[in-house]
Chain A
Amino acid sequence: MLLHESLENSSKQYPDKIAVVYQKERITYSELDRRSNAVAGYLTEKGFKKGERVALLLENSPEYISSFFGILKAGGVVVPLNTQMVDRELTVILSDCSPKFIIKKTGIEKNRDCPRFLGTVPIFSSDLAMIIYTSGTTGKPKGVMLSHANLNANADSIVKYLNLSASDRMMVILPFYYSYGTSLLTTHIKAGATLVLDNRFLYPNVILETMEREGVTAFAGVPSHYSILLRKSALRNYKLDKIRYVTQAGGAMALAMIKEFQNLFPQINFYVMYGQTEACARLTYLEPESLSKKMGSIGKAIPGVELDVLDEAGQKVNPGEIGEIVARGANIMLGYWNSPEETEKVLKKEGLWTGDLAKIDEDGFIYLVSRKKEMIKSGANRISPLEIEEVVCRMPGILECAAVGMPDEILGEAIKLCVVKNGVDMNERDVLLFCKQNLALYKLPKVVEFRDSLPKTSTGKIRRNELV
Chain B
Amino acid sequence: MEPMETLSEADIKKSLKNFIKENFLLGNDSNLKDDDSFMGKGIVDSTGILEVVSFVEDAFNIKIDDEELLPENLDSINQLGNFIKKKLNK
Contact = CB atoms under 8 A, between A and B. Distances in A.
A438 to B, nearest CB: 13
B67 A237 contact: yes
A379 B45 CA distance: 11
Given A202-B38, A429-B27, A433-B27, A411 B71 contact: no
Interface in A199-239: 200-206, 224, 228, 232-234, 237
Interface in B35-89: 38-39, 42, 44-47, 49-50, 65-67, 69-71, 74-75
Most chain B CB neighbours (cut-off 10 Å) among A200, A233, A411: A200
A205 B53 CA distance: 14
B1 interface: no
Contacts of B45: 202, 441-442
A432 interface: yes
Given A433-B28, A436-B26, A202 B70 contact: no
A84 interface: yes
Interface in A370-387: 379
Given A203-B39, A441-B42, A410 B50 contact: yes
B42 A84 contact: yes
Interface of B: 26-28, 38-39, 42, 44-47, 49-50, 65-67, 69-71, 74-75
B68 to A, nearest CB: 9
Contacts of B75: 203
Given A433-B26, A433-B27, A200 B71 contact: yes
Given A202-B38, A436-B26, A410 B71 contact: no
A436 B42 CA distance: 12
Contacts of B65: 234
A234 B26 contact: no
A205 B70 contact: yes
A233 B41 CA distance: 22
Contact of B70 (A201, A203, A228): A203
B70 A206 contact: yes
B69 A232 contact: yes
Contacts of B38: 202
13 contacts: A203-B39, A203-B49, A203-B71, A203-B75, A204-B46, A204-B69, A206-B71, A233-B69, A234-B66, A234-B69, A429-B27, A433-B26, A441-B45
Contacts of B39: 200, 202-203
A234 B66 CA distance: 5
Nearest to A431: B26
